[in-house]
């Protein structure tokens, strides 16, 4: 799956102009747009009851510490006036189409990351504007005018920096990292801001005396390899503001899934099965949203010692529906029980998605079946 | 016939508790026997005893060697030069095999067990190997094997050769991971063997042997098929006794004192494969299997992993084989053939075609075709016991 990354590097020469556009609190903002009563109030999109989780939170709610993927009950404790709204994926998808149409007015090189986020390569823009900053501003204006929503944009010469930049002045902001500024920008950032560095990674880096991009840059590749294994190459480049990945339009999705860390560690089988049901609900929602079909279901558990174990099952056909998806998940869980240690995280993923075969051996596509 | 297995309580020798045993065996005999059983033992084992072979020397001068992977076990008896102390123990299969291989030709190998060690002596070499108790060695419980029949070893070997290449390796459809054996009565009593991986099907038919009537449908797992085929190579002139139930099958080669292979059967239902065997394919192509094979092999040189498809352009009395690869260019070859039906193009996986052609004897092969999307029937002629069905590729 990662083999194409090396190819990508070869295919991305020269200085580029990359924009990362990210809608602000997307789902929640759409709800606030469509219901004036919600404006200026803390809003969460997701299931309010018992086992629901927050899919998105408005900036008013974020002030209270409400975050996406947080159990709804916990969110309500943090923010007693929190207003819940059920997600309306049809509407979000519609808005997503609108903003993508805007992007495509400026460049065909649009790589959507999700409904509300995309990379644009505007090295050569369709309107001959020439300035990436200008294009980013025009796009933000048009999004506001045409959808009534705000977006933040990051402008730089690669994807890594553009994404860091879009986060810099959120919401409704723009940030430009010009050629020559990348390394300096990264040097001042806490490593936690690097895409892919989570709380655990940041903790480990802190132990090694790495707090910022500058600290990271001082470490040589051998040191990084010894401590971070295959992650080292990425870190080495990131610390220097280097990212050669091209913007890939129509990049095929490899998998769809979700995971969550439990509030408390779980080891009992029935509790794990219940948790699995909840995760499967969320993940199946995403699968339906993406209209994806896939053949492989993977269950992932992270134990209290942070060891990760995965079990996967592949079907000869696409998973037929939610019932089969959930059942496969439970079968996989049963295979893992009893657990050697309590689990702190569970994830469920659908992969071997439809259309992926096109890249793989043609044989599977072209070979007809007897049975 | 119910050959006594080492697990039988009646055979538990006195000295077993201390794992004592002393016997002398010709190196060639030991090596041959170990080579038969050791491949059953998986190279990587998490359960130590499964890495071992059981060696059981009895008073009558016979030494039995047994290996298992819990689904499949092979027991072979060999004549010892002498058995001084009867007894049984288990020892690493691959170690003992490697040692036996390297011992000097023509030597006699002394095996002596004491104090949880097996001493292997030959000439001036001496090895001491750790052992595990025989009682820990798992033996497949055969249960009743009510169906019994015999087949000439040659026939059984041919049955395997003509079908095993089509066995599926895809674990999700585990019930295709073996050869399906069943009896039927299509005008005459038959025993049929079939294997398929969903892309091709191989079937071998023979007259139902006496004793096979009423036998349950069984699927013999791929590994058992492979081990059995190896054993058959050294016993091609004899008969093989086959005893089976719905869950186990036992093959006895070389009569008493020979090799006994017992395997669990795949617990699943083999699909009704008869419905995929085409009966109305009216476009008949006949050609020389050797030049066909070689032609396919040559043009497939161009084919990459991605595009293994070979296109066959059927024309009046000739076939044009061709491969087009985006990376490697193109290849084409004309093969003379007998064909008088309407011309068309059809594609096949080159390896699948070669697998089948490899099994065709004689100087002619028949392909019964319908259209580029329909199963094609391949056989030597209408009298041949083997029949193949191959699904085309879109080209």
Contacts 24+ apart (CB under 8 A), B312-319: B312/B345, B312/B346, B312/B347, B312/B348, B313/B343, B313/B345, B314/B283, B314/B285, B314/B339, B314/B341, B314/B343, B314/B344, B314/B345, B314/B346, B314/B369, B315/B339, B315/B343, B316/B340, B316/B343, B319/B285, B319/B287, B319/B292
Residue A371 has its nearest CB partner, among B276, B392, B394, at: B276
Q: CB contact, 8 Å: B180 with chain A?
A: no
Question: Are B170 and A316 a contacting pair at CB < 8 A?
Answer: yes
**B375 interaction partners in chain A (CB closer than 8 Å):** 370
CA distances from A146 to A80, A98, A115, A117, B347 (A): 33, 8, 16, 17, 52
Which of these, B65, B129, B55, lies nearest to B99 by C-alpha position? B129
Beta strands at A151-156 and A174-176: parallel, antiparallel or unpaired? parallel
Residue B320's nearest CA partner among B352, B304, B298, B351 is B298
Q: Which residues contact B69 (CB under 8 A, 6 or more apart)?
A: B40, B41, B42, B50, B223
Q: Does A221 touch chain B (CB under 8 A)?
A: no
Q: Which of A42-56, B308-322, B377-391 has the lowest mean pLDDT?
A: A42-56
Residue positions counted in chain A = 371
pLDDT along chain A (371 residues), means of 10: 35 74 95 95 85 85 88 90 90 92 94 91 92 96 96 96 94 93 91 83 90 92 85 87 84 79 84 90 84 89 84 85 89 90 92 62 63 80
- Does residue B5 have a pLDDT over 60? no
pTM of the model: 0.56
Question: If you measure CA to CA, which chain B residue comes closest to A371?
Answer: B198
Give the single-character DSSP code of B281: -
Q: Could you tell me the domains of chain A? A: 18-22+91-182 (3.30.70.270), 26-89 (3.40.1170.60), 185-238 (1.10.150.20), 255-367 (3.30.1490.100)
Instruction: Tell me which residues of A are annotated as active site.
Output: 117
Distance CA A58, CA A56 (A): 7
CB burial of residue A50 (10 Å; 0-12, 13-18, 19+):
exposed
Residue with more model confidence, A4 or B350: B350
More confident residue, A305 or B49: B49
Torsion of CA A301, A302, A305, A309, to 10 degrees: 50
Average pLDDT, chain B: 91
Does the beta-carbon distance from A366 to B347 stay under 8 Å? yes
What is the pLDDT, as a whole number, of residue A15? Answer: 84
Longest dimension (CA), chain A: 62
> Which chain A residues contact residue B308 at CB under 8 A?
363
Contact B175, B270 (CB under 8 A): yes
Strand residues in chain A grouped as ranges (E): 18-23, 43-46, 54-57, 83-85, 110-114, 117-121, 151-156, 174-176, 255-266, 294-303, 308-314, 343-353
Would you say B308 and B392 are in contact if contact means Cβ atoms under 8 Å apart?
Answer: no
Q: Do B391 and A363 touch (CB under 8 A)?
A: no
Asked if B172 is an interface residue toward chain A (Cβ–Cβ < 8 A), one would say: yes
Tell me if A370 and B395 make a contact (CB, 8 A cut-off).
Answer: no
Helix (H/G/I), strand (E/B), else coil: A134: helix
For residues B337 and B209, give the distance between their C-alpha atoms in angstroms, rounded to a whole number.
38
State the pLDDT at residue B257: 64
Which of B271, B308, B309 lies nearest to residue A371, judging by beta carbons? Answer: B271
Within an 8 Å CB–CB cutoff, is residue A370 touching chain B? yes
Strand partners, B54: B66, B90
- Indicate the pLDDT class of residue B305, thresholds 50, 70 and 90: low
Q: How many residues does chain B have?
A: 395
B198 reaches A (C-beta below 8 A):
yes
pLDDT at A6: 35
Using the Cβ of A209 and the Cβ atoms of chain B, whether some distance falls under 8 Å is answered with no
Task: Name which of A315, A361, A370 is nearest B199 (Cβ-Cβ).
Answer: A370
Cβ–Cβ under 8 Å, residues B323 and B299:
yes
**Rounded distance, CA B385 to CA B163, Å?**
11
Give the C-alpha separation, B191 to B213, whole Å: 9
- Please indicate whether, in this complex, the C-beta atoms of B349 and A314 are within 8 angstroms of each other: no
Q: Which of B201, B271, B391 has its CB closest to that of A367?
A: B391
B-contacting residues of A 289-318, CB under 8 Å?
Answer: 313-316
Assembly ipTM: 0.78
Q: What is the pLDDT of residue B205?
A: 97
Residue B153, token pair as written in the block = 């070893």
**pLDDT value, residue A255:** 85
Asked if B197 and A369 touch (Cβ cutoff 8 Å), the reply is no
**Is residue B256 scored above 60 in pLDDT?**
no
Q: Which residues of chain A lie closer than 8 angstroms to B196, CB-CB?
A: 370-371
Instruction: For chain A, report the end-to-end CA distance as a whole number of angstroms.
Output: 30
Cα separation, B288 vs B364, in Å, equals 5
């Amino acid at each position: 799956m990662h083999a194409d990354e090396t190819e990508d590097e070869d295919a991305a020469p020269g200085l580029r102009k990359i924009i990362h556009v990210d809608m602000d609190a997307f789902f929640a903002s759409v709800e606030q747009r469509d219901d004036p009563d919600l404006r200026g109030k803390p809003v969460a999109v997701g299931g309010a009851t018992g086992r629901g989780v927050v899919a998105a939170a408005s900036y008013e709610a974020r002030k209270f510490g409400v975050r996406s993927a947080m159990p709804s009950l916990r969110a309500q404790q943090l923010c007693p006036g929190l207003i819940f709204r059920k997600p309306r994926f049809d509407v979000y998808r519609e808005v997503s189409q609108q903003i993508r149409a805007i992007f495509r007015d400026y460049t065909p090189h649009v790589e959507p990351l999700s409904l509300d986020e995309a990379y644009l390569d505007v090295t050569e823009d369709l309107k001959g504007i020439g300035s990436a900053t200008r294009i980013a501003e025009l796009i933000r204006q048009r999004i506001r005018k045409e959808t009534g929503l705000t977006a933040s944009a990051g402008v730089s010469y690669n994807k890594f920096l553009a994404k860091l930049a879009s986060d810099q002045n959120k919401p409704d902001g723009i940030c430009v990292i010009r050629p020559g500024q990348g390394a300096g920008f990264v040097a001042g950032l806490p490593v936690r801001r690097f895409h892919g560095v989570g709380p655990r990674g940041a903790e480990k880096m802190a132990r090694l005396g790495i707090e910022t991009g500058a600290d990271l840059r001082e470490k040589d590749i051998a040191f990084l390899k010894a401590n971070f294994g295959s992650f080292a190459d990425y870190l080495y480049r990131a610390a220097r503001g280097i990212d050669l990945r091209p913007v890939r339009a129509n990049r095929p999705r490899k998998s769809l899934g979700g995971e969550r860390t439990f509030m408390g560690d779980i080891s009992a089988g029935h509790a794990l099965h219940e948790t699995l049901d909840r995760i499967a609900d969320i993940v199946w929602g995403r699968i339906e949203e993406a209209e994806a079909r896939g053949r492989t279901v993977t269950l992932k558990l992270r134990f209290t010692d942070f060891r990760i174990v995965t079990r996967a099952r592949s079907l000869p056909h696409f998973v037929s529906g939610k019932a089969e998806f959930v059942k496969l998940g439970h079968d996989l869980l049963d295979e893992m029980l009893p657990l050697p240690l309590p689990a702190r995280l569970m994830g469920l993923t659908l992969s071997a998605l439809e259309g992926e075969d096109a890249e793989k051996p043609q044989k599977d596509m072209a070979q007809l079946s007897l049975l | 016939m119910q050959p006594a297995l080492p697990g039988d309580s009646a055979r538990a020798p006195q000295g077993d508790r201390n794992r004592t045993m002393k016997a002398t065996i010709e190196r060639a005999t030991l090596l041959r026997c170990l080579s038969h059983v050791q491949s059953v033992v998986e190279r990587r084992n998490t359960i130590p005893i499964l890495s071992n072979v059981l060696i059981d020397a009895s008073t009558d001068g016979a030494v039995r060697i047994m290996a298992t992977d819990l689904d499949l076990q092979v027991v072979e008896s060999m004549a010892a030069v002498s058995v001084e102390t009867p007894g049984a123990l288990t020892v690493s299969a691959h170690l003992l095999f490697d040692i036996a291989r390297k011992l000097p030709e023509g030597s006699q190998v002394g095996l002596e067990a004491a104090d949880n060690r097996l001493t292997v002596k030959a000439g001036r070499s001496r090895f001491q190997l750790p052992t595990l108790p025989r009682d820990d060695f798992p033996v497949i419980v055969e249960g009743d094997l009510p169906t019994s029949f015999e087949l000439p070893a040659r026939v059984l070997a041919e049955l395997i050769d003509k079908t095993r290449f089509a066995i599926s390796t895809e674990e999700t459809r585990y019930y295709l991971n073996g050869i399906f054996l069943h009896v039927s009565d299509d005008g005459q009593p038959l025993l049929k063997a079939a294997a398929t991986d969903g892309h091709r099907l191989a079937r071998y038919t023979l007259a139902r042997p006496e004793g096979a009537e009423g036998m349950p449908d069984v699927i013999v797992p791929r590994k058992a098929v492979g081990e059995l085929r190896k054993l058959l190579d050294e016993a091609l002139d004899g008969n093989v006794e086959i005893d089976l139930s719905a869950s186990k099958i036992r093959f006895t080669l070389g009569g008493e004192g020979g090799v006994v292979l017992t395997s669990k059967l795949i617990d699943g239902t083999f699909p009704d494969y008869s419905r995929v065997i085409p009966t109305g394919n009216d476009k008949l192509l006949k050609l020389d299997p050797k030049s066909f094979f070689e032609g396919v092999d040559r043009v497939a040189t161009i084919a990459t992993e991605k595009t293994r498809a070979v296109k066959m352009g059927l024309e009046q009395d000739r076939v044009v084989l061709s491969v087009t690869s985006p990376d490697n260019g193109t290849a084409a070859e004309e093969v003379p053939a007998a064909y008088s039906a309407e011309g068309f193009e059809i594609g096949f996986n080159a390896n699948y075609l070669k697998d089948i052609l490899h099994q065709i004897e004689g100087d002619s092969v028949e392909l019964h075709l319908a259209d580029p999307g329909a199963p094609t029937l391949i056989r030597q002629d209408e009298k041949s016991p083997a029949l193949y069905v191959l699904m085309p590729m879109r080209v």
